[in-house]
Chains A and B, each alone.
Chain A
């Protein structure tokens, strides 16, 4: 008698295989940006059709979220040589590893899509609606969100990224050649020194903000550098040239850095305000529909498509006067 095969579970309860399949299919489509208006309505209907469906969806979302915390380069390099092997050779290889023979490595998987940036100095800019991810000389991954600009100065003393506009997400690298050179993101308001690893810095009219997703950073306001503040993982802070204050963590940088826009029971006007950051021109929301709520995960790459599907999720119409002047209003408004 062999042990039974592991069953699918979500939140401790068994889950039907077909339901798990369907949830995985939905998540995959969302991530690919393949969910059009009608599909999206079917997604909502599917979730509502049975408690197991909602449970399966929540489960798959949670499972996939748990990978977001893994540092992209490291996690990929760790698993790439091991993954997807048929069980038998994998077993032999693993046993070899267990007894100290060591891992066969160098199964040449290509490098990530991030472009290594060899130059120690570069100015980078994204247009509205554009995102860019680059790998710096020290292995750090820098993602620029929409309408952002940075200068990069690695001068042998420190690794400085000057945020001129917009927002960036940083996963610090740890190349040996840069040991002892602090990684600093500077804005006009002050300096953010990385004490570790994964964080985001944004600059807007009201000042600067930082959100820390792993380890910690130290803020030092430009006018009062002695007033330092340590911001730990799961915390956020705002700062200007004089001072800093703690604030709740904004989870969005981790989402946009993954190319996603999350809506979790949000008001339409809030959603459109956020979406508007990724679009040129005017995106207006009729007050009559501003309070409608909805949920979804959207690929940021195509905001036109996100707008085009809104009418099938909500009782709204989307009118494009031009590509740069869009109004979302009640269905019969003229």
Chain B
């Protein structure tokens, strides 16, 4: 069901719950501006969602769940971007690996997607994945490093690949 097909319920939803959501977020986050941003994004997500109608059954549960997820997404993105910028700042050459701000943005985006995907897998699996795909270690080297057998290394890597796959924008 597209949002366009049912503009009135959505409009009504916004009118009835936006103020409440904003208040809820302000208490949760302690920052009015950030709360306003997240509230806005939450409703944008609702408008873009195919499951918009589902939200109408229990709108506040949907809104808080979605808002929570957005907060985590933003925080993760911010953390990854900071970590990335810190690594870049540690380099002397401003040209660094990624020249243009756009390329840096893409890299930070890719890294944030990997970070998001790896949250869904056990720590060792995520470590195996990073060692293999971002550091070039072989399965045997990873097994040695993590103290697990080759079958487990393979299981870790498959698990992470599947977790990463839907993270790619389609």
Residue of B nearest to A110 (CB): B145
Count A-B pairs with CB separation below 8 Å: 217
Q: Is A1 in contact with B135, judged by CB distance below 8 angstroms?
A: no
- Does chain A have a CB within 8 A of B134? yes
Q: Is B119 in contact with A87, judged by CB distance below 8 angstroms?
A: yes
Contacts of A98 in B (CB 8 A): 74-75, 78-79
Knowing A63-B164, A74-B87, A86-B123, say if A195 contacts B95 (CB, 8 Å): yes
| Chain B 58-77: CB-based contact to A (< 8 A → 1; otherwise 0) | 10011001100101101110
Shortest Cβ distance from B10 into chain A, in angstroms?
16
Q: Is B93 in contact with A174, judged by CB distance below 8 angstroms?
A: yes
Shortest Cβ distance from B41 into chain A, in angstroms?
14
Q: Is B123 in contact with A85, judged by CB distance below 8 angstroms?
A: yes
Q: Is A93 in contact with B135, judged by CB distance below 8 angstroms?
A: no
- Does chain A have a CB within 8 A of B161? yes
Q: Is A113 in contact with B141, judged by CB distance below 8 angstroms?
A: yes
Contacts of B33 in A (CB 8 A): none
- Does chain A have a CB within 8 A of B136? yes
- Does chain B have a CB within 8 A of A282? no
Question: Which chain B residues (119-170) contact chain A, with CB distance < 8 Å?
Answer: 119-127, 129-139, 141, 145, 150, 154, 157-158, 161-162, 164-168, 170
Q: Is B161 in contact with A27, judged by CB distance below 8 angstroms?
A: yes
Could you tell me the distance between the alpha carbons of A79 and B87 in the complex, rounded to whole angstroms?
10
Q: Is A84 in contact with B93, judged by CB distance below 8 angstroms?
A: no
Could you tell me the distance between the alpha carbons of A51 and B136 in the complex, rounded to whole angstroms?
31
Interface residues in chain B, defined as those with a beta carbon under 8 Å from any beta carbon in chain A: 31, 49, 51, 54-55, 57-58, 61-62, 65-66, 69, 71-72, 74-76, 78-80, 82-84, 87-88, 91-93, 95-99, 103, 107, 110-111, 114-115, 118-127, 129-139, 141, 145, 150, 154, 157-158, 161-162, 164-168, 170
Interface residues in chain A, defined as those with a beta carbon under 8 Å from any beta carbon in chain B: 1-4, 6-12, 15, 17, 20-21, 23-25, 27-29, 31-32, 34, 59-60, 62-64, 66-67, 69-72, 74-87, 90-91, 93-95, 97-99, 103, 105, 109-110, 112-113, 133, 139, 171-179, 195-198, 214-215, 258-259, 301
